[in-house]
Amino acid sequence: MTTSTEAPKTRMQKLLDTVERVGNRVPHPVMIFVYLIGIIIVLSTILSVFGARVSYQAYNPATGDIEPAMTEARSLLTIEGLRFMYTGVVANFMGFTAVGVIIIAMVGVGVAVESGLVKVLIRKLVIVAPRWALCWILTFVGILSSVAADAGYLVLIPLAAAAFLSVGRHPLAGLAVGFASVAAAFLVNILIVPVDGILTEITNDAIRLVDPTKTIDLASNVWFSIGSVALLTVLIVIVTERVIEPRLGAYTGDYQVPGENVLSEAEYRGLRYAGYALLAVLGFVALMLLPPGAPLRNPTTGAMISNSPFMNSLIVTIALIFGVTGAAYGRGAGTMKTSNDIIAAIQKSIGGLAGLILLLLVISQFIAFFNYTNMATLAAVSAARILEALNLPSIALIIGFVVAVMGIDLIITAAIAKWAIFAPVFVPLLMQLGVEPEVVLAAYRVGDSPMNAITPLNAYFAMIVTFAIKYQKEAGVGTVIALMLPYVIWISLVWTVFLTGWYLLGLPWGV
């Protein structure tokens, strides 16, 4: 008879086991929205039968005045409701502009990724960085890597570990700084990234429930995002150098870094070609924007930023930059020799969106059905009255919203899927209380990102554990959790305080 010598699990390990068990039972995001549609159908019928309705003050676009309005629940199980659901599927999907935004963006980004440009740029930055600056550069590039979706996870994180080891620092510290910068700051950037287009369009759909004339654009959070990038870069570096590395100590493993970070002559030539292409694209955009009466200026006011064709088509400019520079790099490096190679890269990139497009198809129906029932308006007005009666300051509501998003992110990590659930309820609700939609979206960015670095349900979490084992044979899930927990705690606290300060100071959220 043998006696088990396994040490009892700590409270943290038990908590993580519970999170993992619960998360494994969560269905696929597509099925989550299918179930939500079923709930909306049933609930709309119940509310309609009981005559649910609300009266409130609303903006009348015809008169420009705030006038009394009344909204009542509409059942989806009526002749009109069934007709709407059956005949509106294609129109709902085609009218969901997030689909077009993500496809256009990935046309350009896909060329840059498949040609090898994104990977080589990351490697080049690692090569030229001195030891003291390495952590700063890796953090900054990791945060920016969200522009190329999975590139940060697949390229920067393993390179960060190898780069740290190559300069005599612990590779797990490099792994941690890479994972923290890529995952825990995923929804902010100094650039406009593809996911911004989807989040913006979902937000606009929610805004129309309160004010059909109001919208936000892709740059509505740009100043807050840039400020957040600066804050998180400093914070991640401090946590790495003051908390993570002292705890890890000197590296005693036997793993050696292969000479994989040296760029070839072909890669250098590709970078030169990409640089020339970037100058050409920027020159083209400047000609389209800067001269008086240029096509990308507002035709009435001449403005370049506010309500201009340039800002309304910013995703096209981003796709153009990535596509042209990626193709130029491929030509110079020899990774793309003909136009067929470029087309194949675009096809592969778009093909990789199949799962997302399916999810967006279901989300578009969910949002359309939800809007049809008027349930969002009923919920927002009713909740607004309750909150008004409680007399809570708006900043308390914003902080509560951030905390709620963080909690849900442990089991539903998909940023788009969560926002599709939260936006139709919280955007109208907080707008009723005087909080601008730009603020709600910024709060969502803060709530959604930090937990990505600690939840086992992150699609790349297992891959990070595998990377850790390469450098430390006894590493496991607990190793990665212990590495990332300080980042999650500090980022959650400091970033929420930063959001609060930004709001209270009345700083501009975007352009």
Confidence of residue 71 (pLDDT cuts 50, 70, 90): confident
Count the Cβ atoms, other than its own, within 10 Å of residue 324: 19
- How far apart are the C-alpha atoms of 446 and 228, rounded to whole Å? 9
Domain-embedded: residue 43: yes
236 neighbors 180 (Cβ within 8 angstroms) = yes
What CA–CA distances, in Å, run from 302 to 214, 222, 314, 422? Answer: 21, 22, 17, 37
pLDDT at 417: 73
447 neighbors 402 (Cβ within 8 angstroms) = yes
- The rounded mean pLDDT for the chain is 83
pTM of this prediction exceeds 0.75: no
Domain-embedded: residue 15: no
The residue that leads in pLDDT, 24 or 318, is 318
Provide the number of structural domains found in the chain: 1
Domain-embedded: residue 108: yes
Which three-class secondary structure state does DSSP give residue 65?
Answer: strand
**Structural domain boundaries enclosing 144:** 25-505
473-494 burial, b at 16+ Cβ within 10 Å, e below that, comes to eebebebbbebbebbbebbbeb
Q: With 60 as the cut, is the pLDDT of residue 24 above it? A: no
Over residues 446-455, the mean pLDDT reads: 89
Beta bridge partners of 60: 65
Q: Which amino acid is at 432?
A: Q
189-210 burial, b at 16+ Cβ within 10 Å, e below that, comes to bbebbbbbbbbbbbbbbbbebb
Domain-embedded: residue 5: no
Over residues 2-29, the mean pLDDT reads: 57
Among 33-37, 56-60, 464-468, the range scoring the smallest mean pLDDT is 56-60
Domain-embedded: residue 14: no
Beta bridge partners of 66: 59
Q: With 50 as the cut, is the pLDDT of residue 2 above it? A: no
Token look-up 């085609």 returns 94
Domain-embedded: residue 360: yes
Distance from chain centroid for Cα 379? 26
Domain-embedded: residue 233: yes
Domain-embedded: residue 13: no
pLDDT at 7: 55
73-107 burial, b at 16+ Cβ within 10 Å, e below that, comes to bbbbeeeebeebbeebeeebbeebbbbebbbbbbb
Question: What size, in residues, is the chain?
Answer: 511
Contacts of 140 (CB under 8 A, 6+ apart): 181, 229, 233
